Amino acid sequence: MVCLGNICRSPMADVVLGEHVERAGLSGQVTVNSCGTGDWHIGQPMDQRAAATLAAAGFDPTRHRARLFDPGWLERHDLVLAMDEQNLADVLAAATSAHQGRVRLFRDFDPIGTGGEVPDPYYGGNAGFEEVLAMVERTSAALVSALQQDLS
């Protein structure tokens, strides 16, 4: 998962999707990671509001540390999911033509609002983080379902 600073949207998706993957028994086959296209927060934990929203929903946000997107991720990952159109464009700009098919919007898998963006909650209040969590949870469930079909 890729967002701008890797402290709100993509780490929330990383934690939630990782938990869904583990519950589905796919952790031996699927690795979940996140990063950002900007370098402002490298090494920092996720935004406190994102962490609190995850913790309130029963997820563990404590292991996350922000990382910077590296074009090598396109070699090491089968699927790179951007949180919005700008992050998608940034990742695609770093992708060779052979890897561009691996890059999509995260919400391409969302059963509601397919192909939309995950809004950045950073400059808003708690409701924005709750909205992102709802999107991430339903999209993660759909992704795991697709992964189960692809891996069986």
Cα separation, 63 vs 16, in Å, equals 13
Q: Tell me, what amino acid is at 78?
A: D
Cα separation, 103 vs 85, in Å, equals 11
Name the catalytic one among 3, 14, 107, 110: 3
Name the catalytic one among 47, 84, 120, 150: 120
Q: Tell me, what amino acid is at 37?
A: T
Q: Is 120 a catalytic residue?
A: yes
Biggest CA pair distance of the chain: 41
Alpha carbons within 13 angstroms on the beta-carbon side of residue 73 total 23
Q: Is 9 a catalytic residue?
A: yes
Name the catalytic one among 8, 9, 67, 110: 9
Q: Is 8 a catalytic residue?
A: no
Q: Which residues are catalytic?
A: 3, 9, 120
